Structure 1
Amino acid sequence: MTGMRTVKTWAGTTAIGLALGVGLLGVAVAPAAFAQKKVVNVYNWSDYIDPKVLEAFTKETGVKVNYDVYDSQEVLEAKLTAGKSGYDVVGPTAQPFLARQVAAGLYQPLDKSKLKNFGNLDPDIMKAIEKADPNNAHAIPWMWGTNGIGYNVGKVKTIAADAPVYSMKMILDPEVVSKFKACGVMILDAPTDVFPSVLNYLGLPPDSKSTADLDKATDALLKVRPFIRKFHSSEYINGLANGDICVAFGYSGDIIQASTRAAEAKRGVTVNYSIPTEGAQLWVDTLAIPKDAPNPDLAHAILDHLMKPQVVAASSDLTGYANGNKASTALVSEAVRTNPGIYPPAEVRARLFTITPADKDFERARTRAWTRVKTGR
């Protein structure tokens, strides 16, 4: 994901978290190699790793985890580019961030001899991020998801019983989206997440770097701009959960969380998530070790810990996102692993697409186009 993310506790995590904290992962004597360096510094999205699995790591090794958070990939990239960030493990999104950061030499290669749990990773997700990280040399997958449509079931049905809730028409067809202006429509404030889906809807290559294609996508967004209440990359979560808006284009896990919050509030709001039938962008968040990490041995140790099936399963339950660890699937709560919006079936996954980094000229053009869309001019 390239925008802002707000991740809160997902239903059903408490029992798993306690089990992990109490001893599911076991307790080991702290390795001698860690004796002199007792802190590993992690920089990632907020609430993206179950705190209890980090506590378990400290209990096993005696190494404290210092977990700092950012609210956008751009913030992370700025720190990495400046150098000497002080972090041992960071969480770049595979495309386009990890891809260009690997190309810029900002990460050190993984020493896979120190990662005994590497074989737990999902081959399909590994293949998906290999475009960003050739030979999977620098990063492991953490969580993954899609960009799609969140909607208030009751309000949408009342306004238009035949609303195409499984199509990008909900966002991009002026005749459709105009019906929901009064009840509220929000879109991610993230051009690298929005434009590819618009291009795909228009029948154009979603990863196109053509300015002519970009212009067509911009025109399509400008046609629906009068009906969009706001562009924001996290406010739509509470907006959907509270019934303040009725349609959003956002991240799968965020909308699943909105659904959970709505159910927990018991105010009669039901939120659903749909992956557009036209196809959707697949994003993968990864974990990698900066080139100048002060504690690379500890970085490898915590990466290996995070590849334990029970560890990553607990974090999927926390976030409501699918993970890149195939061995963990059976341990993920039934509510998460059987939700097709989180773990889509094979025929849906076949319609997912990824993007690649753009050159600076196209990035500037895309930024200008996004400004036009947001301002409506």
Structure 2
Amino acid sequence: MNHFGKTLLALSVGLLAACDKPAEAPSETSQAAPAAEKSTQVLHVYNWSDYIAEDTLENFTKETGIKVVYDVFDSNEVLEAKLLAGSSGYDIVVPSNPFLAKQIKAGVFQKLDRSKLSNWDNLDKDLLKALDPSDPGNLYSVPYMWGTIGIGYNVDKVKAALGDSAPVDSWDLVFKPENIEKLKDCGVAFLDSPTEILPAAMNYLGYKPDSEDPAEIKAAEELFVKVRPSISYFHSSKYISELATGDICVAIGYSGDIYQAKSRAEEAKNGVNVAYSIPKEGAGSFFDMLAVPADAKNVEAAHTFINYLMKPEVIAEITNYVQFPNGNSASTPLVDEAIRTDPGIYPSADVLKKIYTFPDLSNDALQLINDSWTTIKTAR
């Protein structure tokens, strides 16, 4: 999996180079028909929660006349179950890249019509190359956002519980019983995502995060069982609001979600100081992709929406709002400087060397991981 770390490093260098260039008139051709012609069209989108700017859908409808019905999910497993069941009811969905790979093999997506995606050249070529193992030839998907899975924390509450030397830059914070026990009273949350969280435990134990060895998966399970009494809950979106309000003090979650919690706390002026760190031992990364289900009813509108999202100014505004980096190199000069220079959002070269991504696991390994996750969640 090292090739992803190298690719992320290349992306980081490319972003810096893009920031040094004067902003050029971006390629933002749209092949949408006049709004009047599309006024009766309805597009059904299924995306992660809190993962689009507040005005993106409204602006899209104003420009194209296409109405958007927008639903949300909070785990890849939920999305996959709906896709594999058939008749998803959606025209666009947003799977993460390791799930995308096996979903393509299962035939749940249709190939994109590149002739209807005139803004394709705005995408980062290095990123497209890195995603080739998940989607050979980039035939079925378009990169939307990417990020890391790390530690979100309430600076003051963690300091009060563990002192000035609290290991907020290490998985020791939550995987050492003597640390997490002291955080129990202020609340600790984990993503409810076994294929993203168990690899963190395996990596912490010195194993490969993509290990399919039953003994190593079991070791990760046992590590979690030891600290389980101190974990408040497992959820893939609730931690955003609760970290922002101070109801929990630690959340193992997606980088952009933690930054959204930080922004909400600042906007509320509630005195909650939220920070994010990428653990020094290494952390997982993910790429979320735009794809069109095989049973999509409005394929034309789906392509129009994807092409719209590839406009540099549109995707830059989404990054500015959700605080996840995107895969559109033409948008980089338009991203707020405070975001593109934040190492928690755009990691440094040294940190990127320790970033790993998640593989397309075998069915046997997935079963073991899911069984371990059930054991972990039900242990007290």
The reply to whether TM is greater than 0.5 is yes
Alpha carbons of structure 1 residues 169 and 219: separation in structure 2 relative to 1, 3 Å: same
Query: Does the Cα contact within 8 Å between 1:37 and 1:295 map onto a contact in 2?
Result: no
1:366 corresponds in structure 2 to: 369
Structure 1 stretches of at least 4 aligned residues deviating more than 4 Å after TM superposition: 25-29, 31-37
Alpha carbons of structure 1 residues 181 and 295: separation in structure 2 relative to 1, 3 Å: closer
Calculate percent identity across the aligned residue pairs: 53
Q: How does 1:55-134 map to 2 (within 5 A)?
A: 55-95=58-98, 97-134=99-136
Q: How does 1:293-372 map to 2 (within 5 A)?
A: 293-372=296-375
For residues 241-272 of structure 1, what are the alpha-carbon distances to aligned partners after superposition, in whole Å with 9 as ceiling and x for unaligned? 22222222111111111111222222322110
2:204 corresponds in structure 1 to: 201
For residues 138-187 of structure 1, what are the alpha-carbon distances to aligned partners after superposition, in whole Å with 9 as ceiling and x for unaligned? 10111111110011111222332111111111111223222322322222
For residues 20-66 of structure 1, what are the alpha-carbon distances to aligned partners after superposition, in whole Å with 9 as ceiling and x for unaligned? xxxxx899983599659623322222342335333333333333233
Task: Count residues with an aligned counterpart.
Answer: 352
2:137 corresponds in structure 1 to: 135
1:189 corresponds in structure 2 to: 192
Query: Does the Cα contact within 8 Å between 2:244 and 2:264 map onto a contact in 1?
Result: yes
Alpha carbons of structure 1 residues 180 and 330: separation in structure 2 relative to 1, 3 Å: same
> Partner letter of residue 348 of structure 2?
P
Alpha carbons of structure 1 residues 371 and 68: separation in structure 2 relative to 1, 3 Å: closer
Counterpart CA distance in 1 for 2:344 and 2:123 is 21
What's the TM-score once normalised by structure 1's chain length?
0.86
> Partner letter of residue 322 of structure 1?
P
Counterpart CA distance in 1 for 2:61 and 2:269 is 38
Counterpart CA distance in 1 for 2:32 and 2:101 is 37
2:47 corresponds in structure 1 to: 44
2:177 corresponds in structure 1 to: 174
Alpha carbons of structure 1 residues 217 and 29: separation in structure 2 relative to 1, 3 Å: closer
For residues 299-337 of structure 1, what are the alpha-carbon distances to aligned partners after superposition, in whole Å with 9 as ceiling and x for unaligned? 222211110000101111221211111111111122322
Indicate whether 1:267 and 2:270 are aligned: yes
SS of residue matched to 2:153: strand
Query: Does the Cα contact within 8 Å between 1:28 and 1:60 map onto a contact in 2?
Result: no
Alpha carbons of structure 1 residues 273 and 295: separation in structure 2 relative to 1, 3 Å: same
Q: CA RMSD in A?
A: 2.4
1:252 corresponds in structure 2 to: 255
Counterpart CA distance in 2 for 1:73 and 1:289 is 16
Counterpart CA distance in 1 for 2:155 and 2:330 is 34
> Partner letter of residue 117 of structure 1?
N
Q: Which runs of 5+ in 2 are unaligned?
A: 1-27
1:54 corresponds in structure 2 to: 57
Alpha carbons of structure 1 residues 29 and 153: separation in structure 2 relative to 1, 3 Å: closer
SS of residue matched to 1:347: helix
Indicate whether 1:237 and 2:240 are aligned: yes
Counterpart CA distance in 2 for 1:54 and 1:333 is 21
Query: Does the Cα contact within 8 Å between 1:30 and 1:60 map onto a contact in 2?
Result: no
> Partner letter of residue 194 of structure 1?
I
Counterpart CA distance in 2 for 1:182 and 1:293 is 47
> Partner letter of residue 278 of structure 1?
E
2:10 corresponds in structure 1 to: none
